[in-house]
Structure 1
Amino acid sequence: MRNLRNFTVATSVIVLCQSLAASPVFAQAQPAPTQATETRPESSEAVSSDAGDIIVTANKRAESILNVAGAINAFRGDDLLKNGNTSLADLAGQTPGLQFNAGYGTGSPVIRGINTGADFGQSVGITVDGAPVGPSSSFQTGGASSLDLDPIDLERVEILKGPQGTVYGANTLAGLISYSLREPDLQKPNAIARMGLSGTEGGGTSHSERAALSIPIIEDQLAVRLSGFHDRRAGFIDNGLTNVADQNRWRNYGVQGSVLFKPVDRLRLFIAGIYQRQNQYVQDQVVYAANRTPRDGDLVNNDYLVPNTNRKTRFAVGKIDYDLDFANLTSVTSYQHLNVNYAFPQETGALNTIFVNILPLLGGVTIPAPGLLSNDTLNDFRKFTQEVRLTSTGSGPVSWLVGGYYTHERSEQRQSVNARTTSGALVPGINPALLVTIPTTLTEYSGFGNVTYAFSDAFDITGGLRIGRIEQANRTLLSGSNFAAYKMLFVVSGLGSGPPADTGPQKGAKTVATYLATARYHFSRDGMIFARFATGFRPGGPNFPVPGFDPVYNPDQTYNYELGLKTKFWGGRGSFDVTGYYLEWKNFLAFASAGGLNGFANAGDARVYGFEAGATLRPVDGLSLSGTLAFSDSKITRITSPAGIAKVGDTLPNNPRWSGSLSTEYRAPVESRWQAVVRGSARFAGARNSSPQSSVAFPNYVLPGYALFDAHAGLESAHVDIDLFVRNLTDKRAQLAAYTQLGVNQITVQQPRTIGVAVTFKY
């Protein structure tokens, strides 16, 4: 969420005056026996596949993961639940090519290094049952707050690496994370409940509860499912200044309901609704000195004001599948309403200097000592989407997919600079010192399709095209007790009359085309090589009215070239996959400064190349081994924007050259109804830059490499599972992300060693 802080300062024009501006396919951390052997395809009943295969819908048709011409990892919801993986951050260590910028709020996924460290728009798309989730507009900081769904509600999660713009549209220029919800069971009732209790070294006690119930109302025709979860994680960072222990606690909870109706064999209707709350009272941050040692001591952050996040998600999706014999007709409709509140301390940095030291000299309201400010942001976001498509059926040499997509999103961002006391309370009679309101709208119309021609059972090629029209509008409204003094600052600095109270409507529109071409050759029943070319984009839009900036900034786009191999061997006991890629990022979007004001700019080009590999092996019954390895080399190759963003030769941040994972599992029968299970996993990432090395707005901090270890031991039966676990076995202080704009290195740290137990009841 470091990017959001920059966004709240930059895009609200609360900015510097000129004087201050000086899988791999099979390779998962879960061993092969835990992979899905049966799962719901996109628009038909559950399909069985060979042992070790997973049926996925990466190309919007059900197919074995072995047949997908692209780099993809898939995880069953059951396995995520069993391992206690409840967030996208948990998947990063298990998926080669995926990192997680775990800054403020929920953070943001980074695939193949496509990020600038301050990304305001999504570069990795997220879908739920095929419906895009989150803002497409860059003005709502969609790249800073990703959606986590509880594993008790999931059939599977698919992580598609590389651009997915032709099939999935905007904001997939680096890849896609696809959630598939668990459907009600039409045949029999079932239920599951899981409870966990854990303690963190140097912290408090955490607990979690989750349960789900599925009931057929009319056998084979109508069923309903209800679920809910509650996670309460204790903190582990103390604040000696406010005498608060374990201040970084958080609480997440939510409910989901769904209905599956199948009145006839040809027709399926699925409707689901999700409500979710995420309350993170303080971020997992410690201030580090330049020598990478904590300023205030181990797991201590002594500041009066601390950042916090509250997020409320309401999401509904409806899906209709109808078999037309020659094709499957699919309609996916969704509506989402998202509220996110961020409170960021501004005790240091340029914003504090302007409002505490400069504006009172220009007639502004005096901020009382000790001059504590916060930058508080409320995002209210609503989005409607509709997709209709036809997917061919049959066994001929030609298969195809064609569809249309529409979305309309409406949002309002309210940012305020507030004066606070040392207790965090608002100072009366001042606030807001400055209020910035940014209403935005975005509408998209797209058509897409692809065609596959099979020259033989072993060899085929695919071509795809998507054309979309995106229209955006926004305006900026400013007010507050220090607004007049803020405008005067621009006058005395020789920067004109300053920003207006109302900029009026700012509009922009763009038509964007994306392309897909693949070739795949099956050299055996269980082996395939493939080549893939794909493009993706992130929408441009109307800029802020900053002199020297283009009134409309263009989309940034990616062009990706891949070669890959996927195979099983030793009678299915082993699997291996590797994908090499070369990716070009054109006109990447970034914050830039011109004449003392900030706005958006197409800053330049970058390139990334590397490989992602994974392997699994079951040498004897009961024993499973797996590993992943990724290499990535990135470089900025062209800079076109004003100075201060980066220089040619800088690397992309949050992108280690080497990363990977190892895991093992052993199962042995205990009596007739129980199995003993022992699991261990390790994940590592090399050193990463927090920003481009030459960044002025975000001074670079080199995050050191780390290795983390987890262990599980327990008993499993048909109805009860008991799991004892240790996370971060060696109590490593891994540094996960950095925010540096306020003149200090605010580092997100790994949760210390945590020991616990979880019990699952199944019916």
Structure 2
Amino acid sequence: MTKGYLAAALGLGAAILCVAPALAQQTEFRISAGDLKQALDQFARQSGREIIYKVDDIGGVRSPGVRALVAPEDALDQILSGTGFSSRFDSSGAIAIVKTGGGDDGAARTDGGGSEIVVTASRREQLIRLVPASVSAETGRTLARRGATQLEDIVRNTPGLSNPGPGSGNKTNLTIRGVATGTDPGLKQTTVSLMFDDIPLDPGSAGLGATNLRLVDVERVEVLRGPQGTLFGSGSLSGTLRIISNKPDLTGPGASAELTGAATRGGEGSIWGNAMVNQALIPDRLAIRAVGYGFQEGGWIDNSRTGETDVNRNETLGARLAVAARLGERLSVDIMGAYQMSKDFAAGESLYAPVVGANDPYGITTSRQSLESRLESALVNLGLRYDFDALELISSSTYIRRKASLNDDAGYYTEVVGLQLGIPGLTGSTPAITTNNSDIFTQELRLVSTAAGPLQWTLGGFYLSAKADGGQWVTAPVLAPILGSGNLAALSTEGEQEELSAFGELSYTIGDRLDLTAGLRISDTTLRFDTLSSGLLFTGSPNPAVQVATVIRQSDTAYNPRFAIAFRPSEDLTLYVSAARGYRVGGPNLTAGLGGPNIPRAYSSDNLWNYELGAKGRAFDGTLRYNAAAYFIDWSNMQTSLSLNNVGHVGNAGSAHIYGAELEASIQITAQFEVGGSVSVNKAETASTVPNLTRTTGIVGITPGLRLPGSPEFQTSGFAQFNFDVAGNRAYLRASGQYVGDQYTDYDEKGTRFGDYTVADLRVGIALDRVEVIGFVNNLFDGNGKRSAMNRSTVGPIIAQPQIAYRIRPRTIGATVRVNY
């Protein structure tokens, strides 16, 4: 019996066993985002409930609205989400709207009054506790409150999410639930799809780094654990991270600004800031929102070979402009343009072993030249939404121009060539430049049911067309007088990726307690790469006229179903089981000629099935929130990072099994005091034999039972926040910490060990009318934990790279001033 039939049989059996009587009458609510007073008035009319509030209290507050078939209590939860208000029954039986206890505007996750985050993980708005999947979400206000500005900050607070990538910034390598086979994704598609609103930022052909989109003026961030191939397509192999931006506010003007300065122990200072302006040009009809930001983060690693200090600094600049128009009562038009340029002046690597006698024994690199990477992205999106009463038509059209470059020094090749020519000790600058530029167009159309009733559905189509060009050039000027040319390697490539998908998902509710969900996505993907290579390392001749041409063609059709059953024994508890399939496209090994004939020209797609059992809900009048899940993952034809003759490449390494569990919870102990945390445990091992693969350590072959590289077996995080008043002003103190278990760069706990570290942060803030002042200490105890690492490597007798580690930033002390209008 196939996995798909097995999942369907399990779903049908559970459905027969779990049918139960009705719980509460659901109502279709259609309340648009906007002024909270208007939203509450509409809720009163649509629900027939009496609402009591103070107009002066809620004036100027914005509500996310609600558009869903839910119970009235859940609809009110959504309307109040993130507003700083909650609901309770007064003595007359009416619903009173009151300020959240303690005045903590940022605690939308748990405020003691029932307010919860609304997510769109299923492509429709739902309370997070009703989604039959493992989802974490944080509002933009909560992210700002804890100082989250980039992807690494999301990793530190989300169970099952990790980053074994070599460095942060442009070298981030997001993984979920241990679905990893190395520290550096290279040019292959990552296992976690990164999305901005409905836009996939890094499709398969857009390699050479991850878009480290800064978290500025965002509504929320959602992390969907488990494969999301049915609704979100390729690259969602182990999950999806969605950044949802704040949209223009049609109700009135608004503005905010923020400035942060920080000092890092043993390194340069840092400064960053952002500003936002919103203006309703025609109230309730036309609005514009502009955002700009800049980050200059100082380095702390010194290069002992070149004499440079603090080489691993980062510069990021970005801007976003959005226009929202409501043309009548049915048609909405949203236009958004965004740009970001991020430059890592070095990856941040340091020697793995401490250097005796050095001022900073953990902050030294010996690179011949500090690696530099630059990633520049510009995008334009047109969103259309039309209301047909019983359904909505949603269109999203996007163009992305993505330019990536990586500059390094390959001086070890010059030394090896010198030995072969009988010139020992031959050295010289050997620039190695790698580029990848992409033009990406995506179009998605969705029809979403909105009518009241037990059957809800989503149908859609997706098209992607990506054209890429780039290559790698390695030049040794010192060899030009000897060989007539310093051309060691010159590789140029042109590629295309085209994907056409159709998807749909149906959900049927029985007795208001049982939801049965089934979905399917069919995707057809075609890849084409044409390469032209020359140079001594490729052809044996430095003459640029001696060339080798290669044509790579690859096509694949993927079927990705999803099944889920959710049972709600009460309004405060959701139990679910699910089975889902995800996939990732294949691709070329562009530098195969450097390592000899045993490196394949291309690698195939891989896929996995995720079987999951979960529970989520709230207790004690909503003061306790929790989300728990246990899962089994069956990964087939997994793509893995390999190395042959010091040439990194990708191959397919058979199958793997992953078992794990995760839990996140928070509790509002009092109106002023909240604690929370998360924990994930994971066991990821190979399940088949592949005898001829040369791993990154030089060990040949894979057998069953080997632990996967870059896969932590244990992670945990926690926080405690105390809210209080100072002279009538709201203030808070927040402490948080994270532990990451040990990991390895190769299978079977071979290679270089990293992880096994703890980091703690402390923040204190006070809100003075429209101004908020925050002080913080990151890495409070000044740990030197290794976030990632790379093995020692050689080319012949020459050391190409010593054993290195990528460490967490040393203790950093800073302050933020935030102003809201």
Q: TM-score when scaled to structure 2?
A: 0.80
Q: Does structure 2 conserve the Cα–Cα contact (< 8 Å) formed by 1:41 and 1:61?
A: no
- Distance across 1 between alignment mates of 2:600 and 2:216: 47
- Distance across 2 between alignment mates of 1:306 and 1:681: 33
Which is further off, 267-276 or 753-762? 267-276
Q: CA deviation at 1:297?
A: 2.7
Aligned residue for 1:576? 626
- Distance across 2 between alignment mates of 1:69 and 1:165: 15
Aligned residue for 2:163? 100
Superposed CA deviations along residues 285-339 of structure 1, whole A, max 9, x for unmatched, are: 1011399999993312233311111111111222111111111110011111111
Aligned partner of residue 746 in structure 2, secondary structure: coil
Amino acid across the alignment from 1:563: L
Higher relative contact order (CA 8 A, sep 6+): 1
- Distance across 1 between alignment mates of 2:756 and 2:358: 17
Aligned residue for 1:685? 740
Aligned residue for 1:151? 215
Q: Tell me: CA distance 1:204–1:134, structure 2 relative to 1, closer, same or farther (3 Å).
A: same
Amino acid across the alignment from 2:443: Q
Q: Does structure 1 conserve the Cα–Cα contact (< 8 Å) formed by 2:641 and 2:650?
A: yes
Q: CA deviation at 1:217?
A: 0.6
Q: CA deviation at 1:347?
A: 4.2
Alignment gaps of 5+ in structure 2: 1-60, 70-74, 87-113, 696-701, 794-799
- Distance across 1 between alignment mates of 2:360 and 2:780: 25
Q: Tell me: CA distance 1:429–1:151, structure 2 relative to 1, closer, same or farther (3 Å).
A: farther
Q: CA deviation at 1:278?
A: 0.7
Q: Which of 550, 554, 571 matches 1:508?
A: 554
Q: Does structure 1 conserve the Cα–Cα contact (< 8 Å) formed by 2:415 and 2:424?
A: no
Q: Does structure 2 conserve the Cα–Cα contact (< 8 Å) formed by 1:37 and 1:48?
A: no
- Distance across 1 between alignment mates of 2:367 and 2:507: 59
Q: Tell me: CA distance 1:593–1:257, structure 2 relative to 1, closer, same or farther (3 Å).
A: closer
Q: Does structure 1 conserve the Cα–Cα contact (< 8 Å) formed by 2:448 and 2:458?
A: yes
Aligned residue for 1:715? 766
Aligned partner of residue 653 in structure 2, secondary structure: strand
Q: CA deviation at 1:539?
A: 1.0
Superposed CA deviations along residues 78-120 of structure 1, whole A, max 9, x for unmatched, are: 2222322111111112000000124143311111111211432
Amino acid across the alignment from 1:602: N
Aligned partner of residue 243 in structure 1, secondary structure: coil
For the pair 1:532 / 2:594, whether they are aligned, the reply is no
- Distance across 2 between alignment mates of 1:295 and 1:563: 51
Aligned residue for 1:755? 813
- Distance across 2 between alignment mates of 1:89 and 1:530: 30
Amino acid across the alignment from 1:221: R
**1:478-557 alignment, distance < 5 Å:** 478-480=533-535, 484-485=539-540, 501-541=547-587, 553-557=603-607
Aligned residue for 1:26? none
Superposed CA deviations along residues 524-561 of structure 1, whole A, max 9, x for unmatched, are: 11111000100000112467788577776431001000
Q: CA deviation at 1:74?
A: 0.7
**1:114-513 alignment, distance < 5 Å:** 114-117=179-182, 118-119=184-185, 120-137=188-205, 140-141=206-207, 145-289=209-353, 297-348=361-412, 351=413, 354-358=416-420, 360=421, 369-419=426-476, 430-480=485-535, 484-485=539-540, 501-513=547-559
- Distance across 2 between alignment mates of 1:254 and 1:451: 39
Superposed CA deviations along residues 27-86 of structure 1, whole A, max 9, x for unmatched, are: xxxxxxxxx995477999984457331111111111110111111111112222232211
Amino acid across the alignment from 1:60: R
- Distance across 2 between alignment mates of 1:761 and 1:683: 30
- Distance across 2 between alignment mates of 1:40 and 1:701: 50
- Distance across 2 between alignment mates of 1:456 and 1:407: 40
Aligned residue for 2:135? 72
For the pair 1:617 / 2:667, whether they are aligned, the reply is yes
Q: Which of 69, 87, 95 matches 2:150?
A: 87
Aligned partner of residue 700 in structure 1, secondary structure: strand
Q: Which of 38, 52, 61 matches 2:124?
A: 61
- Distance across 1 between alignment mates of 2:512 and 2:577: 17
Amino acid across the alignment from 1:745: Q
Aligned partner of residue 751 in structure 2, secondary structure: coil
Which is further off, 441-450 or 145-154? 145-154
Superposed CA deviations along residues 192-241 of structure 1, whole A, max 9, x for unmatched, are: 00001111111121111210000011000000011111111111112233
Q: Does structure 1 conserve the Cα–Cα contact (< 8 Å) formed by 2:391 and 2:448?
A: yes
Q: Does structure 2 conserve the Cα–Cα contact (< 8 Å) formed by 1:43 and 1:321?
A: no
Q: CA deviation at 1:500?
A: 8.0
- Distance across 1 between alignment mates of 2:819 and 2:657: 49
- Distance across 1 between alignment mates of 2:443 and 2:397: 5
Q: Which of 643, 666, 670 matches 2:722?
A: 666
Number of equivalenced pairs: 698
Aligned residue for 1:649? 705
- Distance across 2 between alignment mates of 1:93 and 1:112: 14
Superposed CA deviations along residues 251-302 of structure 1, whole A, max 9, x for unmatched, are: 1111111100112121111111111111111121101139999999331223
Which is further off, 641-650 or 293-302? 293-302
- Distance across 2 between alignment mates of 1:616 and 1:368: 61
Q: Tell me: CA distance 1:504–1:256, structure 2 relative to 1, closer, same or farther (3 Å).
A: same
For the pair 1:705 / 2:760, whether they are aligned, the reply is no
Aligned partner of residue 173 in structure 1, secondary structure: coil
- Distance across 1 between alignment mates of 2:637 and 2:357: 37
Alignment gaps of 5+ in structure 1: 1-35, 422-426, 489-498
Q: Does structure 1 conserve the Cα–Cα contact (< 8 Å) formed by 2:137 and 2:223?
A: yes
For the pair 1:607 / 2:657, whether they are aligned, the reply is yes
Superposed CA deviations along residues 671-728 of structure 1, whole A, max 9, x for unmatched, are: 33x112111001101111122237xxxx611114111000011211441100010000
- Distance across 2 between alignment mates of 1:201 and 1:154: 30
- Distance across 2 between alignment mates of 1:598 and 1:724: 43
Quote the sequence identity (%): 26
Which is further off, 471-480 or 97-106? 97-106
Amino acid across the alignment from 1:171: G
Amino acid across the alignment from 1:715: I
Q: CA deviation at 1:479?
A: 2.4
Q: Does structure 1 conserve the Cα–Cα contact (< 8 Å) formed by 2:788 and 2:806?
A: yes
- Distance across 1 between alignment mates of 2:773 and 2:649: 53
Q: CA deviation at 1:249?
A: 1.4
Superposed CA deviations along residues 421-464 of structure 1, whole A, max 9, x for unmatched, are: 9xxxxx99855431111211010111000111112100011111
Q: Does structure 2 conserve the Cα–Cα contact (< 8 Å) formed by 1:389 and 1:403?
A: yes
For the pair 1:111 / 2:166, whether they are aligned, the reply is no
**1:588-599 alignment, distance < 5 Å:** 588-591=638-641
Which is further off, 631-640 or 439-448? 631-640
